[in-house]
Amino acid sequence: MYRSNGNYEAFARPIKPEGVDNKSAYIVGSGLAGLAAASFLVRDGQMKGDKIHVLEELALPGGSMDGIWNEQKGYIIRGGREMEPHFETLWDLFRSIPSLENPDASVLDEFYWLNKKDPSFSHGRVIQDEGKELPTEGDLTLTPKAVQELLDLVMTPEKDLGDKKINEVFTDEFLNSNFWLYWSTMFAFEPWASAMEMRRYLMRFCHHIDSLSNLSSLRFTKYNQYESLIQPMIKYLEDKGVQFTYNTHVENIKVDTSNGSKVATEIDMTTDGKDSTVALTENDLVFVTNGSITESSTNGDKTHPAPLEHELGSSWSLWENLAKQDKAFGNPDVFCKNIPEANWTISGTITLTDDEVTPYIEKISQKDPHSGSIVTSGPVSIKDSNWLYGYSISRQKHFKRQKDNELVVWVYGLFSDKPGNFVNKKITECTGDELCEEWLYHIGVPTDRIKDIAENHANTIPTYMPYITSYFMPRKVEDRPLVVPAGSKNLAFIGNFAETERDTVFTTEYSVRTAMEAVYTLLNVDRGVPEVFGSAFDVRTLMRAIYYLDGKKKIEDIKLPFKERMVEKKAMEKVHGTYIEELLKDAHLL
């Protein structure tokens, strides 16, 4: 497997890998990573569909890419996915998945056309004081010391950040900035999360620093992610003959680690309560989704909180059983145990059944939520919320079956250990109605109307996700297994708990990238995997980032230590009239 960039590789089709007709594949998990692996096996590996077996513990596919109608409870979305143009492997995949609505178009085509017609732009990124705009909206409010702390983190090698937390590399001067408020609520970072992951995000998404306050860099699907992304993939794979087995718990995969190699030899599983074993050879490729952020999720309802009791879950116990066999298979305990009580664990789905709340939504977002245009363009964060509450309203209808009078709102709180501002409870203790009440209070609904609206004009389902931020637990480099561990002949790890360089977890891109790398490595597909977008290596992007990080100052006004070292008067005289001066002007630094 090798990485590439440019149209030459992107538009090419690989020749059929040698020996593929003698191979089969077993994919554990039918989330985005598992479905992507199956798709790459079919498209680029040219493996016959009936040789590909997807094993899923639930009764339906999709993993964390969900959005369902529950007959007893109503609409449920545990979360949403923010996407951007430089998810290189994601778009490489979806250019080949046919649209369900337009047979002459791909999913990428319809996504591209939609976001061209209806681009993302937030008119109300942060609110406070019951629905009022943040007075410093658009200003990153970073001091020179805070900017230096950012630069210091970026310059620190990953190996020196093992187990370090964000609040161990940043002071309150940084953590009190608007930059951190925008960044943390957009990506779900918390102060005690991994500094290593924070560094990766800074390098991966430095091209978004100029749009943090308006979210114009983001792209979104037409409907919820299940209907817009998962269903077309399932149709594509089923049409190719891929075999899906649901209600299947893979309990262990036995691996022969003798002689310096690693060969998966057996899958032990239970399907609909019946135990079975699949014997494997080196020609049987195994792709394991190790760990899951939505494993063990529970739902409450209008009058009941989501239950907090849960078992570890199949994806975690399988990873534990694998890790016992070889240290190269990672350390799951780092991610699924000792999770801080204050972590984000609760989201909610609010379905408004009339337009009682519409004026308050429209005042903040400056959009008619029934217009079909994306409403909030990502999260609206509430700065003075004890829960650090936020909400997002996607294009409506968010479900194909949604009624014209209904609006679906997703809410989440990053802090789970504090009482609310209106509801005097921790978010983990709240019923659906109480989650709705807290949201209504923060968007400016009069307090004497809140209870009636929550009870009689809305249906709110709370969801508890004990592992939702486990991607960001402080870790060492070796705690995640490599996509294909050294010496592995037929076993690969896929998804956001597998390790690939430079890319960032908690993204659709990471799921697809690990799947592509796994398939290309085990099948020796002779085509490049698109490398991670190199914004951190683009001097134009870096100059523009410096301009916005330092409050849109010209270079002569910057008071950081590096100015005295690098941009002294003599140096500026030397670049006058040169290409470097043009670059500085393009970045607004001159």
Take residue 83 and report the two structure tokens written for it. Answer: 């996407």
Helix (H) or strand (E) holding 562: helix 561-566
pLDDT digits (tens, 9 = 90+) for 11-64: 999 999 999 999 999 999 999 999 999 999 999 999 999 999 999 999 999 999
Q: How far apart are CA 119 and CA 137, in angstroms?
A: 20
pLDDT at 555: 72
pLDDT of 402 over the 90 cut? yes
pLDDT at 572: 67
Residues 6+ apart with CB under 8 A from 246: 56, 58, 59, 60, 61
Please state the three-class secondary structure of 436-495 as a single string: HHHHHHHCCCCHHHHHHHHHHCEEEEEEECCCCCHHHCCCCHHHCCECCCCCECCEEEEC
Q: How far apart are the first and last CA of the chain?
A: 43
**What's the pLDDT at 574?**
74
Residue 176 makes CB contacts below 8 A (sequence gap 6+) with none
Q: Which helix (H) or strand (E) holds 349?
A: strand 346-352
- In angstroms, rounded to a whole number, what is the distance separating the alpha carbons of residues 146 and 176? 10
pLDDT value at residue 561: 54
Q: How far is CA 151 from CA 6, 148, 538, 545, in A?
A: 29, 5, 16, 11
* Range 304-329 average pLDDT: 96
Comparison of pLDDT for 314 and 561, the residue scoring more: 314
What pLDDT, on the 0 to 100 scale, is given for residue 586? 84
pLDDT digits (tens, 9 = 90+) for 508-545: 999 999 999 999 999 999 999 999 999 999 999 998 99
Beta-carbon contacts of residue 537 (< 8 Å; ≥ 6 apart): none
Per-residue pLDDT of 448-479, as tens digits, reads 999 999 999 999 999 999 999 999 999 999 99
Count CA within 13 A, CB hemisphere, residue 496: 23
Mean pLDDT over each residue of the chain, to the nearest integer: 95
- Give me the phi and psi of 226, to 5 degrees please: -70, -50
Percent of the chain topping pLDDT 90:
91
Catalytic residue ranges: 82, 201
pLDDT at 580: 73
pLDDT in tens, 343-375: 999 999 999 999 999 999 999 999 999 999 999
Mean pLDDT to the nearest integer, 256-275: 96
For residue 103, pLDDT beyond 90: no
pLDDT of residue 137: 95
DSSP string, 79-135: ----B-TT-HHHHHHHTSSBPSS-TTSBHHHHHHHHHHHS----S-SEEETTTEEPT
User: Rounded mean pLDDT of 153-167?
Assistant: 96
Q: Residue 147 — φ and ψ, nearest 5°?
A: -65, -40
Nearest by Cα to 480 from 500, 465, 466: 500
- pLDDT tens digit string along 404-424? 999 999 999 999 999 999 999
- Which residues pair with residue 69 across a beta bridge? 75
Q: What is the pLDDT of residue 473?
A: 98
What are the pLDDT digits (tens) for 270-316? 999 999 999 999 999 999 999 999 999 999 999 999 999 988 999 99
Look at residues 224, 226, 460 and name the one whose alpha carbon lies nearest to residue 348. Answer: 460
Position 571 scores a pLDDT of: 67
Per-residue confidence (pLDDT) for residue 563, from 0 to 100 = 47
Q: What's the CA gap between 435 and 224, in Å, rounded?
A: 21
Note the pLDDT of residue 498: 98
Number of neighbouring beta carbons within 10 Å of residue 437: 24
Provide the token pair at 112.
Answer: 């591209």
Report the sign of the C-alpha dihedral through residues 249, 97, 232, 511, in that order: positive
